[in-house]
């Protein structure tokens, strides 16, 4: 595989961030006086719905929690506070990158392979994750950063990948997506981008048929970036 660009998913792929997202949701629910609590089992199910606002609405509609109907109109406000809390947790240094991520991005930048982000989370969360790990200088070298703010439909829709391809000015087969989840795979596949899956903690039972390769992580999977001659 000689990709001209690597398109990275964020949550679950760059880092195992979902436990911090879950923590931020639960802290926020408490702050709003709600007795909602997302344990790991429930959160694993809720992750099938990408994007925190969509996920919260889906929870209210399917789990019928106490106070659900009266808070449906406050989902945006709840989510805004959750984003602040998630940022505080990230800034407190509670996260590290998954194996092989930093060196792969460094190698791509050194060898002129383009890089992009395709994520269902918001731009501010991407900025904070980079600030807390590789640094914003690294993010500034990316050729495209496509986030929930930029599209109407997040994953599994393909809008985020189509936008990334447009900004990269490349054909799908010239790129490689790096994803961790079934909905991420569906999103990239829908845009005809080949997908390397690095399975994340919450997505162990996902269905990955149609992926180019599936590995536990970039390092143990021995993924090497080949530079086109």
Residue burial 138-170, b: 16+ Cβ < 10 Å; e: rest: bbeebbbbbbbebbeebbbbbbbbbbbbebbeb
182 makes contact with Mg ion (CB under 5 A): no
Spatial distance between the Cα atoms of 70 and 78, rounded to a whole number of angstroms: 13
Nearer to ligand XBP by Cβ, of 121 and 158: the residue is 121
Please tell me whether residue 168 adopts helix, strand or coil conformation: helix
Positions in 137-156 near ligand XBP (CB under 6 A): 148, 155
Determine the interface stretch with Mg ion among 11-19, 48-56, 165-173, 214-222 (rule: CB under 5 A): 11-19
Radius of gyration of the chain (CA): 17
* CB-based contact 4:113 (threshold 8 Å): yes
- Consecutive H or E run containing 70: helix 68-71
Residue with tokens 């808070």: 71
Nearer to ligand XBP by Cβ, of 28 and 112: the residue is 28
Nearer to ligand XBP by Cβ, of 83 and 115: the residue is 83
- Consecutive H or E run containing 195: strand 195-198
182 makes contact with ligand XBP (CB under 6 A): no
Spatial distance between the Cα atoms of 114 and 175, rounded to a whole number of angstroms: 9
Cα dihedral: 87, 91, 94, 98 (round 10): 80
CB 229 → Mg ion: shortest distance, Å? 32
* Residue 206 partner contact from ligand XBP, Mg ion, none using kind-dependent CB cut-offs of 5 to 8 Å: none
Determine the interface stretch with ligand XBP among 8-16, 58-66, 100-108, 206-214 (rule: CB under 6 A): 8-16
CB 110 → ligand XBP: shortest distance, Å? 25
Nearer to Mg ion by Cβ, of 71 and 98: the residue is 98
Active site residue 11: yes
DSSP structural state of residue 205: T
Active site residue 9: yes
Q: Judged by CB under 6 A, which of 26, 28, 115, 122 binds ligand XBP?
A: 122
Nearer to ligand XBP by Cβ, of 36 and 229: the residue is 36
* CB-based contact 196:177 (threshold 8 Å): yes
In the chain, how long is the greatest CA-to-CA distance? 61
Q: Judged by CB under 5 A, which of 12, 87, 100, 156 binds Mg ion?
A: 12
Q: Judged by CB under 6 A, which of 115, 121, 133, 198 binds ligand XBP?
A: 121
Positions in 40-99 near ligand XBP (CB under 6 A): 50-52, 83
150 makes contact with Mg ion (CB under 5 A): no
Active site residues: 9, 11
**Residues near Mg ion, by CB under 5 A:** 9, 11-12, 180-181, 184
């Amino acid at each position: 595989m000689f990709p001209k660009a690597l398109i990275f998913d964020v949550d679950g792929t760059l880092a195992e961030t979902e436990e911090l997202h879950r923590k931020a949701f639960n802290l926020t629910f408490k702050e709003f006086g709600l007795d909602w609590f997302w344990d790991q089992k429930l959160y694993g199910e809720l992750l099938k719905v990408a994007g925190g606002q969509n996920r919260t609405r889906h929870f209210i509609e399917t789990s019928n929690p106490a106070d659900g109907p009266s808070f449906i109109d406050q989902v945006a406000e709840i989510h805004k506070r959750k984003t602040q809390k998630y940022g505080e947790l990230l800034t407190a240094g509670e996260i590290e990158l998954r194996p092989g991520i930093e060196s792969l991005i460094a190698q791509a930048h050194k060898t002129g392979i383009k890089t992009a982000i395709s994520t269902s989370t918001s731009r501010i969360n991407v900025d904070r994750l980079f600030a807390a790990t590789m640094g914003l200088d690294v993010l500034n070298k990316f050729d495209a950063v496509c986030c929930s703010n930029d599209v109407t439909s997040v994953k599994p829709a393909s809008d985020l990948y189509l936008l990334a391809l447009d900004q990269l000015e490349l054909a799908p087969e010239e790129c490689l997506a790096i994803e961790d989840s079934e909905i991420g795979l569906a999103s990239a596949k829908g845009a005809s981008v080949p997908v390397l899956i690095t399975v994340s903690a919450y997505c162990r039972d996902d269905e990955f048929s149609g992926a180019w390769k599936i590995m536990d992580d970039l390092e143990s999977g021995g993924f090497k970036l080949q530079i086109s001659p």
